[in-house]
A = this chain, B = another copy of it.
Amino acid sequence: MSPGITVNQNIAEMEYAVRGPIPQRAAELRRQGKRTIPCNIGNPQGLGQQPISYYRQVLSLLEAPSKIARERRLNKLRSSAPAAFAGLAADDFVSDYILDLCDEMLAKFETGLGAYTESKGPLFIREAIARFIDTREDAESSGAPRSDPEHIFLTNGASEAGKNLVDLLIADRRDGLMIPTPQYPLYSAAIRRAGGCQVNYYLDEDSGWTLNRSMLEEALAAATRDGVAVKAIVVINPGNPTGAVLPKESIREVVDFAGQHGLAIIADEVYQDNTYGATFVSFAQTVGSQDVPLFSLHSTSKGFCGECGRRGGYVEVRNPPAVTNTSLSFMDLLLKQASVSLCSNTIGQALTYLMVCPPAPDSAPHKQFVEEKKQVLEDLYNKAALIRAAFAEMNGVECFGRTGAMYLFPRLNRLPAGTTDFDYCMSLLEAVGLCTVNGSGFGQRAGTNHLRVAFLPSRELLEEVLPRWVEFHNAYVNRKQ
């Protein structure tokens, strides 16, 4: 047997708390037959959220195109002999609107879902995304720059887009990316893996996790003094793990900062539909016609769609930076990266198309679609409110900022001396079965204690579990040391 090999040290050192020791312990408990509640991850359908029917009806027919004609035949038979179909409900039949849409999508896919597509994804989907962005920004009336379908890449979830960008931007081990603290550990993991430098900037917890310019300048200046060449700044809005929905001024500060220092912006905007009444302000809109490189990520995993398992997503590029060490353009390089993976998965692509093209207001599926969307978002907000109410009963727990994304990130002010938020989360898992992620897993400031909880369990489950959490908590923080 070989004495052993060395492996990529960057991968050995990479950390990813969202699937780290606490979730791994939860998996062990499940194997022992114990119930655990996976609030460690934003996986709504994993906790019972129902998919949007419209999306599934379309995907189902795209999988088996011969069924489209069959549904048309069924509709015809039903209208000619309704009595024979008395055993079926009205929603057992598929509307012509959906059947026509499926025919149209398959015609545009040209070779169905079973073939590789263009590396960037099919043009008709990229065009639909560009229209979606232009509509969101009201580009027509505002005169803002239009989204360019050739600058859009479909990816296997937004994570793939994020990792590819980090890989491309890190040219040297002294290259750095600014990331928020606390942050979603995808970015720290990707930077570690690419062998670059992670440059933290802090979010202002007491001001609802907003950004301020002096914190950005301070972080950049410190990194520059250490010899780090900062290439880009990552912003997650709405925030993960904080749930914060950034106000326009915070976004304006980032754009000005990036413009002044020649940085690119990676805007992780996958929670743009999870604002619960607050206004989502996009980076595209704020950058406007300024020449600041912008990479904006979106996904089918979040919002009211919640189809995490599909790995659908995209990145839209504006003002790609000039490149000095190769004759290829930045867009050429992104295309080459995409090419080596051939293409993203076609169901994720199709779902991305549906996400950016909701059913027309006067169409048959519209009413149900709107009702389901509203219900999912209302339920999410109400579940967050239930958890916040439980925090109020917990000794020394404060939760800042308004509710956004799918997470609450409370501060635990009164942990017993010598214990950490990791210890707390592990004990919470053992005692109550609730799987959360400790704040230190998101790189939060040393000496503070937090946890991230996804507000996804059903109302019934929360009503059962939250009192047990409150009881656990107050016993934990008040125990004799």
Q: Given the complex of chains A and B, what is the CA–CA distance between A140 and B98 in angstroms?
A: 50
Assess whether B111 is in contact with A339, with CB atoms less than 8 Å apart. no
Assess whether B333 is in contact with A11, with CB atoms less than 8 Å apart. yes
Give A138-158 interface residues, CB cut-off 8 Å to B: 156-157
Q: Given the complex of chains A and B, what is the CA–CA distance between A441 and B186 in angstroms?
A: 34
8 shortest interchain CB distances as A-B pairs:
A84-B84, A4-B322, A2-B262, A309-B346, A12-B326, A45-B114, A46-B115, A60-B64
Classify chain A: how many residues form its interface, as a range: 35 or more
Task: Check A35 for interface membership: any CB of B closer than 8 A.
Answer: no
Task: Check A119 for interface membership: any CB of B closer than 8 A.
Answer: yes
Task: List, sorted by A's number, 5 A–B pairs whose CB atoms are closer than 8 Å.
Answer: A5-B323, A56-B64, A84-B85, A193-B340, A311-B345
Q: Given the complex of chains A and B, what is the CA–CA distance between A83 and B83 in angstroms?
A: 12
Task: Check A215 for interface membership: any CB of B closer than 8 A.
Answer: no
Assess whether A88 is in contact with B70, with CB atoms less than 8 Å apart. yes
Q: Given the complex of chains A and B, what is the CA–CA distance between A291 and B14 in angstroms?
A: 29
Copies of this chain present: 2
Cβ-closest chain B residue relative to A41: B116
Q: Name the B residues within 8 Å of A170 (CB-CB).
A: 8
Task: Check A57 for interface membership: any CB of B closer than 8 A.
Answer: yes
Task: Check A411 for interface membership: any CB of B closer than 8 A.
Answer: no
Q: A5-B323, A262-B2 are in contact. Are A16 and B336 (CB under 8 A)?
A: yes
Binds B, one of A159-167, A242-250, A470-478: A159-167
| Partner-B contacts on A (CB < 8 A) | 1-9, 11-14, 16, 18-19, 27, 41, 43-46, 48, 51, 56-57, 59-61, 63-64, 67, 70, 73-74, 76-77, 81, 83-85, 87-88, 92, 111-119, 156-157, 159-160, 163, 167-172, 175, 186, 189-190, 193-194, 231, 262, 264, 291, 293, 306-311, 321-326, 328, 330, 333, 336-337, 339-348
Assess whether A157 is in contact with B6, with CB atoms less than 8 Å apart. no
Q: Given the complex of chains A and B, what is the CA–CA distance between A306 and B111 in angstroms?
A: 12
Q: Name the B residues within 8 Å of A193 (CB-CB).
A: 167, 340
Q: Name the B residues within 8 Å of A19 (CB-CB).
A: 119, 339, 342
Assess whether A159 is in contact with B330, with CB atoms less than 8 Å apart. no
Q: Given the complex of chains A and B, what is the CA–CA distance between A189 and B342 in angstroms?
A: 12
- How far is the CB of A106 from the nearest CB of chain B, in Å? 12
Residue in B6, B157, B231, B328 whose beta carbon sits within 8 Å of that of A172 in the complex: B6
Assess whether B311 is in contact with A156, with CB atoms less than 8 Å apart. yes
Assess whether A6 is in contact with B324, with CB atoms less than 8 Å apart. yes
- How far is the CB of A375 from the nearest CB of chain B, in Å? 16
Q: Given the complex of chains A and B, what is the CA–CA distance between A92 and B66 in angstroms?
A: 9
A11, A27, A67, A340 pick with most chain B CB within 10 angstroms: A340
- How far is the CB of A179 from the nearest CB of chain B, in Å? 15
